[in-house]
Chain A
């Protein structure tokens, strides 16, 4: 890694962040496998410490760049783990879901690795449209939503994994575990993520109106944000139908997260997105 990052954060910080999340994943994972409360607690505190370090990195970048560091893909690879860690810490504290810690740390580690692998090679300035009071709340709300939906994805996958081979449990996951069944926890995370998606969508519309005169432009990223929102709304409706709870709902939850990932990372694959010069495209 090179000196060009001195204007944002040093590569050493990225390596330290990766180390923090990796250590958290290992310690918290060991705590879950060994079922040792003390090791679990250590995993939690490690996640908290790495989260604080991640926050400091974002703060430093903000100062160095003299703008919110949420513009480029590299910058969002530092924001997303921050949000994942934040949402996971809250959920662990609220619902004693310590099982979440190693997976949240692993997800955050993956983001940090991507940031380390492909750092910004030059300073990116904010174009006029992004110099808006809506920029920070809109982006942060969306990444909080994505973090909630990532957590939901993890919990849904764990729930399916735990129920594998047990037909009865698979059909009635919500009644199988205590204190908060994984399927129920996954659903609660969807509710949180969906509420944040809704707020993010509304804020984006208000911002679009003030910048371009249109609250909706059928921009590919807007469309995929809408598709993601519709996908989770379909999930919420399907889950109200008796026989769509449990395993089916969990699989739909997993599928919905594919829409989140595509919205976040897939826009360059779309024909209009490549040629439109959309501000939603990451540089």
Chain B
């Protein structure tokens, strides 16, 4: 095969006039496995800094086998490395290795690995460095072998012939991608710059987690965070229909937007339609008659002070003892009190009969503004929603096919706020879904010698380039909107990688589509 027959080949096969005996695929695969095993042992020696006798013996055996194999193949080694067989074998080996890396949780701790896979499997994962597949010696070795094969294949091609350009672009592109990535990995910078509003920093933190374990680094200039902005999509008032089956979490069956529900709207599996009759904005009432409680993993329900309620799925129950609109803890009285009737820190005191030691009642505080605050082991899994701070609606329902409304229910809107049981399994919830972030933006100033020399806005997909570094919007905290995490990158191999990708793409298109047409044209020309 010469590379000019049929669909153009990507790899040069041995010329027909020089018969050689490249190794069959199976043996090539075994050879690559041996190479991988050698690298695994080498990494153990490198990481443990202890070259044990069995390790050295194993490496020596593998090295001897490798040397023997190379010696046996000395006449065909070049043909083998540049053959389609070897290309297929090394590509398949990298594919298998990459797949292994996706089935094993990467960068997991030994403890996590034992928990996920059991002790024996975790041991093997550790021995073969499978939890760090993509940064292991053996994976890098496979890539190096690929580059060697590609390089030899490229060097053997007559690059001055137009017919070879696609091959050279494609294979050369792959080499450049791997080489460029290696340059970036070896000499690049990957770090984080954590800033609070008004703060300026010039030290980048680098850690293994960020792919660069070389420790803090000074930039040579500083970045000051002038402002951090989060733009959100609008909140969405909506109705959600849930189905609850035994022991399972409620399954969402349908959502209906508030605006849409002003008209009669069918509800799946219920035989009912509903519409909004009245919409009431938040009342702010300080002593609502009903409160909303959610048991973990279930839908919310309304409760009243003085009443006792069972916790579904358990033998436990609780009584709502008292409501405090503005809860504080009075140190002198050593108990919770309400400062006034302003609902600034709404709290409910609930009591579980027989839940305490010696069969006494056990008390538990539920805070609307601080879910989980003061929670102790053994407490009931309850969440409290204060209903006076949210909108509510009155809906009416009717059977499908009937003209008149047959029922009326008032619902409060909060995240999982108001609920209406349509049947033992179906519940309609009125909720206010908070808008998700649309964009994050950091307004920053570049500071040199205490002077702002440049102002810029960094957003996702819009990084800042300055002083040979690029700054990416990478992190934020919903509870601290004065904080912004910027990723700092310097990648000296990036240009090589991009050039490689362009070459690869052009090469593939050239080999598949341009080259065959050039050949046809050349054939037509020679016939004339």
Contact = CB atoms under 8 A, between A and B. Distances in A.
Q: Do A and B bind each other?
A: yes
A231 B134 CA distance: 18
Contacts of B1: 240, 242
B103 interface: yes
A34 interface: no
Interface string A102-132: 0000000000000000000111010111011
Given A202-B505, A240-B13, A227 B98 contact: yes
A3 B260 contact: yes
**Residue in A192, A226, A275 with the greatest tally of chain B CB atoms within 10 Å:** A226
A263 B139 CA distance: 21
A237 B11 CA distance: 7
A195 B512 contact: yes
B319 interface: no
B192 to A, nearest CB: 11
Contacts of B285: none
A223 interface: yes
A156 B211 CA distance: 42
Contacts of A211: 460-461, 472
Contacts of B116: 271
Interface in A122-155: 122-123, 125, 127-129, 131-132
A194 interface: yes
Given A213-B472, A271-B103, A240 B508 contact: no
Nearest to B9: A240
A2 interface: yes
A194 B260 contact: no
Contact of B463 (A206, A210, A216): A210
Nearest to B267: A2
Contacts of A192: 512
Given A2-B254, A213-B489, A202 B501 contact: yes
B102 A128 contact: no
Contacts of B437: 127-128
A129 B95 contact: no
A198 B505 contact: yes
A187 interface: yes
A129 B11 contact: no
B302 interface: no
A229 to B, nearest CB: 9
B501 A191 contact: no
B254 A4 contact: yes
**Residue in B85, B461, B489, B509 with the greatest tally of chain A CB atoms within 10 Å:** B461
Contacts of B102: 220, 223-224, 227, 270, 272-273
**Residue in A3, A131, A210, A231 with the greatest tally of chain B CB atoms within 10 Å:** A3
Given A3-B256, A212-B474, A226 B461 contact: no
A241 interface: yes
B470 interface: yes
A281 to B, nearest CB: 13
**Residue in A191, A211, A237, A275 with the greatest tally of chain B CB atoms within 10 Å:** A237
A187 B88 contact: no
A236 interface: yes
B508 A123 contact: no
Contacts of B106: 218, 272
B257 A272 contact: no
Question: What's the dominant secondary structure at chain B's contact region?
Answer: mixed
Contact of B84 (A125, A127, A209, A237): A237
B105 interface: yes
A177 interface: no
Given A202-B501, A205-B501, A128 B439 contact: yes
A209 B501 CA distance: 13
A268 interface: no
A6 interface: yes
Contact of B461 (A132, A188, A218, A223): A132
A65 interface: no
Question: What's the dominant secondary structure at chain A's contact region?
Answer: helix
B487 A2 contact: no
Interface in A1-52: 2-4, 6-7
A210 B459 CA distance: 10
B92 interface: yes
Contacts of B98: 223, 226-227, 230
A234 interface: yes
B12 to A, nearest CB: 9
A191 B7 contact: yes
B465 to A, nearest CB: 11
**Residue in A212, A218, A234, A240 with the greatest tally of chain B CB atoms within 10 Å:** A240
A157 interface: no
B452 interface: no
Nearest to A216: B181
A197 to B, nearest CB: 9
A66 to B, nearest CB: 11
A238 B470 contact: no
B440 interface: yes
B91 A212 contact: no
A131 B461 contact: yes
B84 A240 contact: yes
A121 B255 CA distance: 6
Nearest to B238: A122
Contacts of A3: 254, 256, 260, 265-266
B88 A238 contact: yes
B487 to A, nearest CB: 5
Contacts of A271: 103-105, 116
Contacts of B474: 212-213
Contact of A4 (B103, B255, B461, B512): B255
Interface of B: 1, 7, 9-11, 13, 84-85, 87-88, 91-92, 94-95, 98-99, 101-106, 116, 134, 181, 190, 211, 233, 236, 238, 252-257, 260, 265-266, 268, 433, 436-440, 459-463, 470, 472-474, 487, 489, 494, 497-498, 501-502, 504-505, 508-509, 512-513
Given A3-B266, A237-B10, A238-B84, 9 more contacts: A3-B256, A129-B460, A192-B512, A211-B461, A213-B489, A214-B211, A230-B98, A234-B95, A270-B103
12 contacts: A122-B252, A123-B236, A128-B437, A187-B7, A194-B508, A213-B470, A218-B106, A220-B102, A223-B101, A234-B92, A240-B1, A241-B85
> Which 3 pairs between the two chains have the least Cβ-Cβ distance?
A128-B460, A230-B95, A240-B84
